[in-house]
Structure formats: structure tokens, C-alpha cells
Amino acid sequence: MAIYHLSVSNVSRASGSKATATLSYISGRRVHDERRGETYDYGRKERVLRVGTLLPEGAPAEFADPAVLFNAVELHETGRTARPAKKIVVALPREFTPRQRVQALEEYIRENLNADGYAATYAIHEDREGNNPHAHILVANRQIDPATGGWARLKQRMEYVLDERGERVPLIDPETGRQKTDKRGRRQWKRTSVSLNPLDRKAKLKALRESWANTCNARLDETARIDHRSLEDQGSDLEPTIHEGYAARAIERAGGVSERCQTNREIRRSNSLLTAVRAELGRIFDRLGELFAAKIGRLRRRQARPEPAEPNWRYFEGDARRQLEADKADHTAAIRGKLMDARADVGNREEWWRSHGTEEHEAAKQIIDVARAASREARDANIFKRGRLLRNAEQVAGEQSERLRGAVPWLEDADIPADWDQANRFRMRTTKAIYDHDMQPRTRLVAELERRLEQAERAESERPSPEQVKALALRMAEQRAQAENPTQDTKRPAPSGDEPLDLSEPEDWGEASPFESRQAPRTKADLLNEIRQRTNRLTGQREAEQRQIDPWSAQPPQRRGHGR
């Protein structure tokens, strides 16, 4: 896959680099430096595929030889900190053929360097395995004057330093703290050196980066395009890779693991995972968009259908309000009756406990009493038998504890003590625990019914809301119309299954409204008759439940004599 890379660096005399030495490195040829009298030969010819020099308009013909070109610029630049050349390194897409590589490079140099008066030499490189195609472009850092064929004179000039208001900044004497003056008394201002070389300007460097991307993209398929912008400028939060370099790749080729290459592998792995997650999220959002559009379409089609005329519900408004209040009263009375039954059940169960107990309780008492008997025997024994009987009491307590766990598996503390006093206290705790466990469902039911009764009484004291009254009155009116004209429903459009929920229903009081399971009353007398029948039905159910035999509320059999 094609990647983007373009870097620009200076061949600076201050750092010890020379244009002729750099030329020898990128071209793989022997180059003699006329200024210093040295000859450079860096070899590595197996990596150099092609070397070429492109000149601007008006350049001398002898500059077509790169050695002559860069010796001339080295001789012209005399300063100790001079920068005779610049080096541009670009990555060549692997999708390019050898001919396309040369065409892209020469087009780029002519449009961006030769057009501005710069002469440049390029060299195309590859590694020994034929990978990592890239090119070095060595540019003479001084323009050629097309009129004379010589080097342009000015590369920089001095300008005044301006503050944020656009005014000149005075030159301050550190000893006096005042503005410096010259011998004639003229005030001195800060000045700085401004480069007149286009290659030193930030705008030109940005244009070079963008132009290389455009040159490559003109020859690449749409799926392999490159972008000169950084990931941050592209608005991407992918992590950029780092430069590996020749040494790191050499370590990898030798079978080792380079830290920089390993870092790039981890970055690519995390970036690929992030890209896959984004693609999946994109598919999900696309699907949600389709579903939302379909939902909107159904809503619009439903809204386009004519709304049926609303029946006259005001006629049933009073009946609906009274029905809602009656339903609240019935609901409260039903809960109150259940609460009375639950409290009676608690009382009956307590009476049953006082006279009978439960099977678990009787089994637990018998098991604990066996251990208590052994501990009491050890307590009452004399000093000669006490040790043996104490050991026997501990053994019996352990065996009875196992039996107690089997008889009462839910009991948390089932370890019977071997001491007489502790065994007595354990027996009392166990009795209370079994009693609480047996009574807990009944007392919990009483507490729940008390809470529900409080809510029902609070709801009963409140007046029905207008929305509830209107909803019930509308339903009554519709049921009346349906009863008078049974064929009316056949004229209604079939439901689409996408109708909104009716949120204006009365509160859910735990029971269904009578209007949901019967025909609409024709008169108020019919309504009262239905309510009376419902009350009688509920009363009959309650009496039938009370007539059922509750084994916990049954009285124990009376002992009678055997007399005739």
C-alpha cells in the first residue's frame, strides 16, 4: 500500500556536511570537492537505480554534470555557516512502475524547483530486497539568474522587528536601560535577518508537501491515494507511526527485534482495531438510519389517513367519573379484606404454635434434648466419671448437630454445645429461629398489604384526573356505538400494528376495570346493576375462601373421657 513521506533538511556547513559529500552518498559515485581538495566515494551502488539532473531556464550547460553543479555552489558560498544545498527525501509508492517513478520525480522537480530557478539532482534508491523505494533530491540552495546564467545575489536582508501593534522595537542598552543611539545621536532599533530564499519559507515547504501528494495521486488508483496532511490535520485520532530507519530494518533482517519496528507493529495493530470498530459502528448507524427512515415513513402514512370523528363522550362523563371512584373504593375494600384475612391468619398461626408447634420444631427439640441429656449427665456425675461423660457429651453433641442440620437445613447455627447451660440457651434460640422462619411469610404479607392499603386509600382520596375521565368516557361511548351499530367496526381501517400506546388509561390498581370484560350499559340503572353484581361476586368469593379449612387455624381435638 502506498504511504506518504517527504522530509526536507539543510546541507549546512556549520554542522560539517557538504553538498559534494551528499551528492556522492545519494548517487553512489566518486565526487571530488574542489574547494577542500577532497574526494568522496560512499559506494552502496547496488541501491542506486537511477540518477538525473534537471536545470532551470538559463542555467549553464555544464551544470548538467551534478559534480560540476554542486562544486560551483560550494565555491560560491564562502560563509562558515553557509547552507549550499537542501536535501528532499520522498517515499515512492510501490504501485509505481520504474517509468512512473521517473516521470513523477521529474514532473515534481520541474514544477516546484526548476520553475523557481533551482537546479536539482535526484537519485532513486531501493534496499537489497527490492523494497522501500524512495528518492533523494539534492537542490542547490541558491537560485540561478536566467538573464546572466549565474547565481542570484541576495538570499537574505535585514528588517526591523515589529511588535504586536506593528511598531518598531527599540534596542535597549542593558547597562542604562535606555534605547541605544549611534555616534550621531540617532536612535537604534532591533533588526533581524530575513531570508529571501523561497525554500526557507514555511509556505513553500507546505506547497512542496502538497504538490508531491498531488503528483502521486494523479498516477494512483482511488483506493491507494496518499495524503500529505498529518493525522491531526485530517481530523483523525489514529496514532502515527515513527520513523524506523535503515539500522532498525537491518536488525529485523538479521532475525532480531528492533524496538522502533516493534513500536510501529503495535501502533498498526491498534490502528487496525480502531478502524474495524469504526467500520462496524458505521454499519450500525447506517442500519439505524434505515430503520428510522422506515419508521418516519409509516408515521407519515398513518398521519395522512383521515382521523375518525371523536364520539360524544360528554354524555358519559359523569358515569365515567363515578365508575372510576367506585373502582377505587372496590380496590381499597378488597385490599382491606385481604389484610383482615392475613392478620387473622397470623393470629391463628400463633395460637397453633402455642398448642402444637411444627414438625421441624418438634424434631429439633427431640434432637437437642438428646444432647442436653448427655450434657446434664456429665454435669451431675462425680469427679471420677465426669471426664468420660464429658467426652461422651461432646461426641453426642456432634452427632446430634449433624442430625439437626438434616432436619432443619436452613438453620444457620446448628452446632449444639456440649455444656448444659449453653445447650439450654441454644434450645431457646433455635425455637425462636424456627418460629420466626415459620411466621415470616405471614408477617411479610401483612406488611405488604398494609403498604398497598395506604396507597389505595391515598389514591381513593384523590379526584380522577380529566384525562382518565375522558378516556373512560370515550371507551363507554364507543362501546355504546358498537352495541347500537355492530357493523360499524367493519368500516374502520385495519390496524397497522404501529399505533402509539394509549397512555391515558386509569391507574393500574391491581385489578382490571369492569368495562374491559362486559358490554356497555344502556342506562344508569344497568351501570348500578353491574356494580352490584360485581360486589356480590367478590363477597361470595371471600366467603367461600373463609369456609375453606385452614390446617393452621383448626382447633386441636378436645380430650374427652372414656366414660359411658
What band does 109 get if pLDDT is binned at 50, 70 and 90?
A: very high
Of 35-49, 134-148, 236-250, 313-327, minimum mean pLDDT range: 236-250
Of 47-56, 107-116, 136-145, 348-357, minimum mean pLDDT range: 348-357
Of 18-32, 468-482, 531-545, minimum mean pLDDT range: 531-545
Average pLDDT in the chain:
81
Q: What does DSSP say about strands 120-125 and 48-54: parallel, antiparallel, or unpaired?
A: antiparallel
Asked if 244 and 258 touch (Cβ cutoff 8 Å), the reply is yes
- Examine the pLDDT at 106 and tell me if it is beyond 90: yes
Half-sphere exposure in the Cβ direction for 317 (13 Å, CA): 9
Asked if 194 and 158 touch (Cβ cutoff 8 Å), the reply is yes
What pLDDT digit, counting tens, does each position of 188-246 carry? 888 776 666 788 888 888 999 899 989 998 888 877 778 767 656 665 667 677 777 76
**Mean pLDDT on 108-130:** 89
- The secondary structure of 158-197 as a DSSP string is EEE-B-TTSPBPB-B-TTT-SB-B-TT-PBPB-EEEEE--
**Mean pLDDT on 281-308:** 82
User: What pLDDT does 505 receive?
Assistant: 40
**Mean pLDDT on 297-303:** 81
What pLDDT digit, counting tens, does each position of 333-354 carry? 999 999 999 999 888 888 888 8
- Examine the pLDDT at 512 and tell me if it is beyond 70: no
What band does 438 get if pLDDT is binned at 50, 70 and 90?
A: confident
User: What pLDDT does 315 receive?
Assistant: 81
User: What pLDDT does 75 receive?
Assistant: 92
Distances (CA, A) of 534 to 61, 287, 492: 117, 52, 33
Distances (CA, A) of 448 to 338, 345, 439: 11, 15, 14
User: What pLDDT does 561 receive?
Assistant: 45
**Mean pLDDT on 25-37:** 91
What band does 555 get if pLDDT is binned at 50, 70 and 90?
A: very low
User: What pLDDT does 3 receive?
Assistant: 79
Of 90-94, 443-447, 487-491, 523-527, minimum mean pLDDT range: 487-491
Separation of alpha carbons 428 and 366, rounded Å: 13
The string over 58-88, giving b where at least 16 C-beta atoms fall within 10 Å of a residue's C-beta and e elsewhere, is ebeeebeebbebbbbbbeebeeeebbbbbbb
Torsion of CA 96, 99, 104, 107, to 10 degrees: -170
User: What pLDDT does 510 receive?
Assistant: 41
- Examine the pLDDT at 154 and tell me if it is beyond 90: no
Separation of alpha carbons 334 and 329, rounded Å: 9
- Examine the pLDDT at 467 and tell me if it is beyond 50: yes
Q: Which residue has the higher pLDDT, 368 or 517?
A: 368
Number of helices and strands (H, E) in the chain?
12, 9
- Examine the pLDDT at 488 and tell me if it is beyond 60: no
What pLDDT digit, counting tens, does each position of 392-423 carry? 989 998 999 999 888 889 888 889 998 989 98
Separation of alpha carbons 289 and 282, rounded Å: 10
What band does 553 get if pLDDT is binned at 50, 70 and 90?
A: very low
Q: Mean pLDDT: which of 158-172, 180-194, 435-449 is highest?
A: 435-449
User: What pLDDT does 537 receive?
Assistant: 72
User: What pLDDT does 128 receive?
Assistant: 76
Closest alpha carbon to 295 in 460, 498, 97: 498
What band does 554 get if pLDDT is binned at 50, 70 and 90?
A: very low
The string over 457-491, giving b where at least 16 C-beta atoms fall within 10 Å of a residue's C-beta and e elsewhere, is eeebeeebeeebbbbbbbbbbbbbeeeeeeeeeee
Tell me what percent of the residues of the chain surpass a pLDDT of 70. Answer: 82
Q: Which residue do the cell numbers 424434631 mark?
A: 363
Tell me what percent of the residues of the chain surpass a pLDDT of 90. Answer: 21
Separation of alpha carbons 283 and 289, rounded Å: 10
- Examine the pLDDT at 20 and tell me if it is beyond 90: yes
- Structure letter (DSSP) for residue 45: G
Separation of alpha carbons 29 and 21, rounded Å: 10
- Examine the pLDDT at 509 and tell me if it is beyond 60: no
Separation of alpha carbons 18 and 32, rounded Å: 12
Asked if 197 and 204 touch (Cβ cutoff 8 Å), the reply is no
What pLDDT digit, counting tens, does each position of 61-91 carry? 999 999 999 999 999 988 888 889 999 999 9
Q: What residue type is 122 in one-letter code? A: Y
Please provide the distance, in angstroms rounded to a whole number, between the alpha carbons at the two ends of the chain.
115
**Mean pLDDT on 513-531:** 54
Give the 3-state secondary structure of residue 113.
Answer: coil
The string over 137-167, giving b where at least 16 C-beta atoms fall within 10 Å of a residue's C-beta and e elsewhere, is bbbbbbbbeeeeeebeeebeeeeeeeeeeee
User: What pLDDT does 564 receive?
Assistant: 36
